[in-house]
Amino acid sequence: MPSDSPGSRPEMDVLRMFADFRLPAMPDLEALTQAQRRNLEALSAANRVALEGAQAVARRHMEILQQAMSETTEAMRSLAAAGESPQARAAKQAELLKAAYERAVANLKEIADLIQKSNAEALAVLNRRFAEAMDEVKAMMNKPG
């Protein structure tokens, strides 16, 4: 037969369990607001870096196109020069094509490097902020509440 002492009743056990249960402290709303502001600033900075990188790529691409047009015009003039044998003209065309191909490959590599550099810089901004945010979360959770 169950005893009527207060410590042995099931509802008292539940009450004791709830008394011992502690909710995590509410985070500091000001700290959360500041953290969110820093997150948005980092995202804005990463977007700015990406945009600047895209603009640099577009500028360089335009320079490459202008250079290619100039070189093509000059190559056509030199090929149109009279007095060369068909074999000499064919050799000259092959030489021009080889040089154009090598420039195109070098230009593609340069553009790819510019894109990679820009992406790496933007990602570095986000990675730094992510690491800071994780430190902030740890500090908030360890803060006595």
User: Could you read off the pLDDT tens digit of each residue along the chain, which spans 145 residues?
Assistant: 455 555 567 677 777 777 776 655 666 788 888 989 999 999 999 999 999 999 999 999 999 999 999 998 988 888 877 678 888 888 888 999 999 999 999 999 999 999 999 999 999 999 999 999 999 888 877 876 5
Q: Is 0.95 surpassed by the pTM of this model?
A: no
Is 22 inside a domain boundary? no
Nearest to 125 by CA among 55, 56, 53, 41: 41
Residue 104 domain flag: yes
Contacts of 122 (CB under 8 A, 6+ apart): 46, 47, 49, 50, 53
Cα-Cα-Cα-Cα dihedral sign, residues 81, 84, 88, 89: positive
Domain limits for position 75: 30-139
**CA-CA distance, 114 to 120, in Å (whole number)?**
10
87 assigned to some structural domain: yes
Count the domains in the chain.
1
Cite the DSSP H helix spans in 6-145.
Answer: 10-20, 29-80, 86-142
Is position 11 within any domain?
no
Residue 129 lies in a domain: yes
Residue 98 lies in a domain: yes
The reported pLDDT for the residue numbered 24 is 59
Is residue 112 included in any domain, yes or no?
yes
Half-sphere exposure of 53 (CA within 13 A, CB side): 20
The answer as to whether 91 is a domain residue is: yes
Phi/psi of residue 123, each to 5°? -65, -35
Tokens of residue 138, six digits? 């740890």
